[in-house]
């Protein structure tokens, strides 16, 4: 018996990183998963890895309403229903406030903020028709504490938290629970310095990042995608049956404060 036996869950940003780990874990726990992303080759490969009886892939640009309609339709046509969403798709751009172009700000908000809004709006009627369900939005540590160079990202992720609370209030009577995860630094392609800056030396970048996390994070390391996936599983499974409208931080203690060196 798995924690998600009989569930059909749509996971966005599922081609790699947190989303791919969530898809794998949810499938292990008995769910049918619809993987959605704009990285079609990678997303299809993860779905193929899981197998056609368990997983399907659909192209989804979270900022496009028509793509959401197609993703919901794919879930219903392939597995007969839809009763869960994990909104994991997101992008990160780093820039000082005064150097952030308007286009960059709107691009980040389109994916991170508008994508979360369109996703909740698209799936809520289906979840209600199924007798209830769950929505897990992905916010961020940056929505709760200031970080330099992340104006657009922090703004979009703070909006996700606000929308999560409102949606939880509106949808509770329809049997839909809505919560958010707030990851700190997680070892995914989105936060990889080399991926963000192809000119960076991989060894030097990795060493600098490791040194930063040892000093800044009380647990002394960057997080792993599977650690976020396990939190998303908790919020999707019946283990959290009386939990809605909340945010859950998974950051190795980063938000707790600045660790001081102990002699």
Q: Above 60 in pLDDT, residue 166?
A: yes
Q: What is the pLDDT of residue 214?
A: 81
**Rounded mean pLDDT, 247-258:** 92
Flag whether the pTM goes above 0.75. Answer: yes
**Rounded mean pLDDT, 121-141:** 97
Two tokens, residue 149:
């160079």
Q: How far is CA 244 from the centre of its chain?
A: 17
**Rounded mean pLDDT, 228-245:** 98
Residues serving a catalytic function are 153
Domains of the chain and CATH, by start: 8-186+223-250 (3.40.50.720), 193-222 (no CATH)
* More confident position, 213 or 55: 55
Q: What is the pLDDT of residue 258?
A: 72
Buried b or exposed e, range 98-116, using 16+ CB within 10 angstroms: eebeeeebebbbbbbbbbb
The 10s digit of each residue's pLDDT in 74-96 is 999 999 999 999 999 999 999 99
Query: pLDDT band at residue 197, thresholds of 50, 70 and 90?
Result: low
Phi, psi at residue 36, to the nearest 5°? -130, 140
Q: What is the pLDDT of residue 204?
A: 57
Query: Beta 247-250 vs 84-87: how paired, if at all?
Result: unpaired
CB 132 within 8 A of CB 82: no
């Amino acid at each position: 018996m798995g924690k998600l036996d009989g569930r059909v869950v749509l996971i966005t940003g599922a081609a790699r990183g947190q989303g791919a780990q969530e898809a794998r874990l949810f499938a292990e726990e008995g769910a049918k998963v619809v993987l959605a992303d704009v990285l079609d080759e990678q997303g299809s490969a993860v779905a193929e890895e899981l197998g056609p009886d368990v997983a399907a892939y659909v192209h989804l640009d979270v900022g496009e309403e028509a793509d959401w309609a197609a993703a919901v339709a794919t879930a219903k046509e392939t597995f007969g229903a839809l009763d869960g969403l994990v909104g994991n798709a997101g992008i990160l751009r780093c820039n000082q406030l005064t150097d952030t172009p308007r286009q960059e700000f709107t691009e980040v908000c389109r994916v991170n903020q508008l994508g979360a809004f369109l996703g909740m709006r698209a799936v809520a009627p289906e979840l209600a028709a199924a007798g209830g369900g769950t929505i897990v939005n992905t916010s961020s540590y940056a929505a709760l504490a200031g970080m330099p160079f992340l104006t657009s990202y922090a703004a979009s992720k703070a909006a996700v938290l606000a929308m999560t609370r409102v949606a939880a209030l509106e949808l509770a009577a329809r049997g839909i629970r809505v919560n958010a995860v707030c990851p700190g630094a997680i070892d995914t392609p989105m936060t990889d310095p080399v991926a963000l800056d192809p000119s960076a030396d991989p060894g030097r970048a990795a060493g600098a990042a490791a040194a930063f996390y040892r000093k800044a994070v009380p647990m002394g390391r960057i997080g792993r995608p599977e650690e976020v996936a396990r939190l998303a599983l908790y919020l999707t499974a019946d283990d959290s049956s009386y939990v809605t409208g909340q945010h859950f931080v998974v950051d190795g203690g980063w938000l707790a404060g600045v660790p001081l060196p102990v002699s």
